[in-house]
C-alpha cells in the first residue's frame, strides 16, 4: 500500500499496475461534502487530506499523485476570493504535472469551474473538478467513483477546465447543478458531454474542449459587482434604482421563456434603459435551462434588445455571471464589457472560439 504523509501527501503507484509510465497528477482539496463529517450543526468539511487519500486508494494506485489541502470550506463559502486562490495554486503547479484534480463542494462547483475557465486562458493540461453527494466516509458514497473519473480525465484528457461527476465529464462553462441529492447532480447544458465512462473505460472527444495557440497565463482580476435577477410577474421597476445605489456594475436577468420582459402596468424596460444609460451592463438570458434564448422572436423580446441589453443566447446563468465578474476585472468600460461578453471565450457560447491571444479585440 502507498505511504501517506500529513503535508504534501503523495501516493506512489505500483508500476506493474500501469502499462506505461504513470501520469503525474496533483490533487487539490478545498473541502465540500466529499470531505465532510457530521457535527451538532450538520455536515462540516473536516476530513483532512490524509484521510481523504486513504478512502480512495484503489482510484489512486494507477497514478503518481501528490495531494495538498488548500481550503477546507463548504462550497457555499467559496467566492471570488477563493477562485483567485485556487487559480493561483493551479498556475504555480501546472508545469510540474500532467493534470490537476480539485475536490470541491457541489453547490457552487459550476460557478468555480466556469470562473477558472476564464481565469486560465491557454491552460495546457486538464483541470478537473469533482466532489460527492455523500461524504467519502459514508459506505454508499459516490466520492470514490467520481474521483476515479476525475483522475482518469486529468491523466488522459484534453487540456481545459472540466467537471467530472457520475461517470460523466462536462465542460466547465456548460455545467449546472440540477439535483440536490441524486448522484446525477450535474448536467451539460446545450453542449455535448466531453467524456463519459462505459465498459471500455473513459471515452473523451478532444474536439469538444477549447483549443488555444496562445501562451498559458493567469488572468485573475475579478469584480464581483454582478447581480443575478430571476424575473417574476409584477416585479417593481424601482428595483433598478436600488441596483445603482448598491453600486452594481452588471445585471443578468433571467427572462421568461425564449425571451420576454413585461412592460405593461410595471414598465421594466424603462428601468433597464435607465441603468444602461448610467453605465450598468445588462445581460438577458432565459429561465429555461435548455435551448437558446432568442429575444428577436417576440415583440416583448425585441423591446428588450432595443433597450440596449445584451442577449446571452445559449449560455448558462452560471457562465453569464462568472464571465461578467471576470470581464469587469479586466475593464469597466461598458462598451468593452459588451464586446468581450459577445465573444466565445471558453466554450460557453455557441460559435467560433476566440483565441485567448485575441480576447477583447474587435470581432
CA distance 331 to 176: 27
Q: What pLDDT does 298 receive?
A: 66
Average pLDDT score over the chain: 91
CB within 8 Å of 308: residues ≥ 6 apart? 272, 273, 276, 282
pLDDT of residue 183: 98
Same fold, 9-208 and 226-358: yes
Distance separating alpha carbons of residues 310 and 121, to the nearest angstrom = 23
pLDDT of residue 1: 33
Residues labelled catalytic: 33
Q: Where are the domains of the chain?
A: 9-208, 226-358
**CATH number listed for the domain at residues 226-358:** 3.40.50.40
Question: Which CATH architecture group holds 9-208?
Answer: 3-Layer(aba) Sandwich (3.40)
Asked if the model's pLDDT at residue 213 lies above 90, the reply is no
Q: Inform me whether the pLDDT recorded for 259 exceeds 90.
A: no
**Per-residue confidence band for 360, with pLDDT thresholds at 50, 70 and 90:** confident
Burial class (CB in 10 A: 0-12, 13-18, 19+), 160: buried
pLDDT tens-digit series, residues 293-311: 877 776 777 887 888 899 9
Is this model's pTM higher than 0.85 or not? yes
pLDDT at residue number 359: 83
**How far apart, in whole angstroms, are the C-alpha atoms of residue 93 and residue 15?**
24
pLDDT in the model for residue 356: 85
CA-closest candidate to residue 295, choices 328, 348, 253, 251: 253
Percent of the chain exceeding pLDDT 70 equals 94
Asked if residue 19 has pLDDT above 60, the reply is no
287 three-state secondary structure = coil
Q: At what angle do helices 334-341 and 317-330 cross, to 10 degrees?
A: 130
Residue 31 bridge partners (DSSP): 73
Place of cell 495531494: 67
> What is the predicted pLDDT for the residue at 18?
46
- Grade residue 17 by pLDDT with cuts at 50, 70 and 90: very low
Find the range with the poorest average confidence among 120-124, 170-174, 227-231, 301-305.
301-305
Q: Residues 47-84: pLDDT tens digits?
A: 889 989 999 888 899 999 999 999 999 999 999 999 99
Amino acid at each position: 500500500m502507498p505511504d501517506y504523509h500529513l503535508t504534501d501527501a503523495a501516493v506512489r503507484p505500483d508500476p506493474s499496475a500501469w502499462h506505461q509510465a504513470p501520469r503525474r497528477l496533483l490533487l487539490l482539496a478545498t473541502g465540500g461534502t466529499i470531505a465532510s463529517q457530521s457535527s451538532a450543526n450538520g455536515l462540516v468539511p473536516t476530513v483532512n487530506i490524509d484521510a481523504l487519500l486513504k478512502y480512495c486508494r484503489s482510484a489512486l494506485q494507477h497514478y503518481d499523485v501528490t495531494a495538498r489541502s488548500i481550503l477546507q470550506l463548504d462550497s457555499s463559502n467559496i467566492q471570488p476570493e477563493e477562485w483567485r486562490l485556487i487559480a493561483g495554486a493551479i498556475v504555480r503547479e501546472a508545469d510540474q504535472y500532467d493534470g490537476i484534480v480539485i475536490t470541491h463542494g457541489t453547490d457552487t462547483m459550476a460557478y468555480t469551474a466556469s470562473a477558472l475557465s476564464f481565469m486560465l486562458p491557454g491552460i495546457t493540461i486538464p483541470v478537473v473538478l469533482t466532489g460527492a453527494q455523500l461524504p467519502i466516509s459514508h459506505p454508499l458514497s459516490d466520492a470514490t467513483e467520481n474521483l476515479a473519473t476525475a483522475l482518469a480525465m486529468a491523466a488522459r484528457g484534453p487540456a481545459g477546465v472540466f467537471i467530472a461527476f457520475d461517470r460523466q465529464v462536462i465542460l466547465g462553462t456548460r455545467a449546472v447543478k440540477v439535483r440536490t441529492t441524486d448522484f446525477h447532480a450535474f448536467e451539460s447544458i446545450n453542449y455535448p458531454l466531453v467524456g463519459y465512462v462505459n465498459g471500455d473505460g473513459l471515452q473523451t472527444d478532444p474536439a469538444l474542449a477549447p483549443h488555444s495557440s496562445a501562451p498559458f497565463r493567469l488572468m485573475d482580476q475579478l469584480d464581483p459587482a454582478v447581480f443575478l435577477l430571476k424575473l417574476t410577474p409584477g416585479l417593481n421597476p424601482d428595483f433598478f434604482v436600488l441596483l445603482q445605489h448598491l453600486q452594481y456594475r452588471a445585471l443578468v436577468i433571467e427572462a421568461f421563456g425564449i425571451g420576454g420582459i413585461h412592460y405593461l402596468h410595471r414598465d421594466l424596460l424603462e428601468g433597464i434603459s435607465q441603468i444602461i444609460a448610467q453605465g450598468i451592463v445588462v445581460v438577458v438570458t432565459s429561465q429555461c435551462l435548455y435551448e437558446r434564448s432568442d429575444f428577436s422572436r417576440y415583440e416583448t423580446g425585441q423591446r428588450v434588445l432595443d433597450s440596449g441589453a445584451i442577449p446571452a443566447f445559449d449560455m448558462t446563468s452560471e457562465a453569464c455571471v462568472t464571465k461578467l465578474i471576470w470581464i469587469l476585472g479586466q475593464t469597466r468600460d461598458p462598451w468593452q464589457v459588451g464586446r468581450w461578453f459577445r465573444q466565445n471565450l471558453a466554450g460557453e457560447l455557441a460559435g467560433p472560439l476566440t483565441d485567448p491571444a485575441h480576447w477583447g479585440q474587435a470581432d
